[in-house]
Structure 1
Amino acid sequence: MTKLVYQLDGLTCPSCLQKIEGALGQQAGVKTVKALFNSSKVKAQIDPSVTNADVLKKTITDLGYTVVNVRSQEA
């Protein structure tokens, strides 16, 4: 498993979090996802044999949000 943390710009309301969590949660290989409004971060745990950080980043940007930074850590 790989843990990813996305730092975002443009989170303006709690419904944004639900939108992001829903879209990422439907992606193959995503085990858990949690969006944090106060820190503008999205944390995800993925199976790297199925998906990767770039796929999730594209999903976030396609929703209209800017990814400022991505950190990854092997779990």
Structure 2
Amino acid sequence: MKTNLQTETFTCPSCIKKIERNLNSQEGVDAAKVLFNSSKVKVEHDENQINAEEIKGIVEKLGYPVLDIKSR
């Protein structure tokens, strides 16, 4: 499954590494990529191991509010 999260604007490039490192270390996440300029987080994951709401929770726990979620 692919999930895209729209977040508030990122303020620094180190934010990208922090989010990608945390998401990529989660069981069930195949790939996580942060797009700095568009403030999007794209995650490919196994829905049976981690769902979109759990991914949102991880990003928000790191201090980045999620404005929108789209999964397909």
Q: TM-score interval w.r.t. the shorter chain?
A: over 0.9
**What is aligned with 2:30?**
31
CA deviation digits over 1:22-74, x for unaligned, max 9? 0101111000110000000000000011110011111001001100000001x
Tell me the matched-pair count.
Answer: 72
Equivalence for 1:56: 55
Equivalent pair of 1:24/1:33 in contact (CA under 8 Å): yes
Aligned to 2:44: 45
Unaligned runs of 5+ in 2: none
Instruction: Return structure 1 stretches of 4+ with deviation > 2 angstroms.
Output: none
Asked if structure 2 preserves the Cα contact closer than 8 Å seen for 1:10 and 1:66, the reply is: no
User: What residue in structure 2 maps to residue 21 of structure 1?
Assistant: 20
Which amino acid in structure 2 is aligned with residue 49 of structure 1?
A: N
Cα distance in 1 for partners of 2:62, 2:9 equals 11
Higher-strand-fraction structure: 1
**Structure 1: stretches of 5+ with no match in the other structure:** none
Query: What do you get for the CA RMSD once the two structures are aligned?
Result: 0.7
Q: Calculate the TM-score normalised by the size of structure 2.
A: 0.97
Q: Is the 8 A contact 1:8 1:66 kept in 2?
A: yes
